[in-house]
Amino acid sequence: MLDVDWALPMVVGGIFILVGLVGILWGKREQESYDYRMSSRPDLRELMDRWPPRPEPGALKIGGGIAVTIGVIMLLLGVVFLLRG
């Protein structure tokens, strides 16, 4: 491999980790916001109608975890390429 072939997996891994952390934090914020709205409203319109539409917090957290896992694997792959080269 070339001398800089290790850089691409490490950069992509870092981007995946950042995107994953943003997804996890966004999911936690959405869950807290949803829980607060449910406890502060006398009616359950938002619960029953799903209005206003919101991203599903569980999906954001799961997707963020998957992205972080892929990012760590890519970083490790970059380290292996760095040590071999």
Residue 65 lies in a domain: yes
Residue 2 lies in a domain: no
Residue 67 has a CB neighbour count (10 Å cut-off) of 20
Percent of the chain with pLDDT over 70: 78
Burial category of 82 from C-beta neighbours within 10 Å (exposed 0-12, middle 13-18, buried 19 and up) = middle
Q: Measure the N-to-C terminal CA separation of the chain; round to a whole number of Å.
A: 7
Residue 62 lies in a domain: yes
Residue 71 lies in a domain: yes
Helices 57-84 and 7-40, packing angle to 10 deg: 160
Query: In total, how many domains does the chain have?
Result: 1
Please compute the mean of the pLDDT values over residues 55-61 and round it to a whole number.
85
Lowest mean pLDDT among 4-18, 27-41, 52-66: 27-41
Range of 66's domain? 7-84
Residue 19 lies in a domain: yes
Looking at the predicted structure, is the pLDDT value of residue 46 above 80? no
Please compute the mean of the pLDDT values over residues 14-27 and round it to a whole number.
96
Residue 1 lies in a domain: no
Residue 12 lies in a domain: yes
Looking at the predicted structure, is the pLDDT value of residue 39 above 80? no
pTM of the model: 0.78
Cβ(16)–Cβ(82) under 8 Å? no
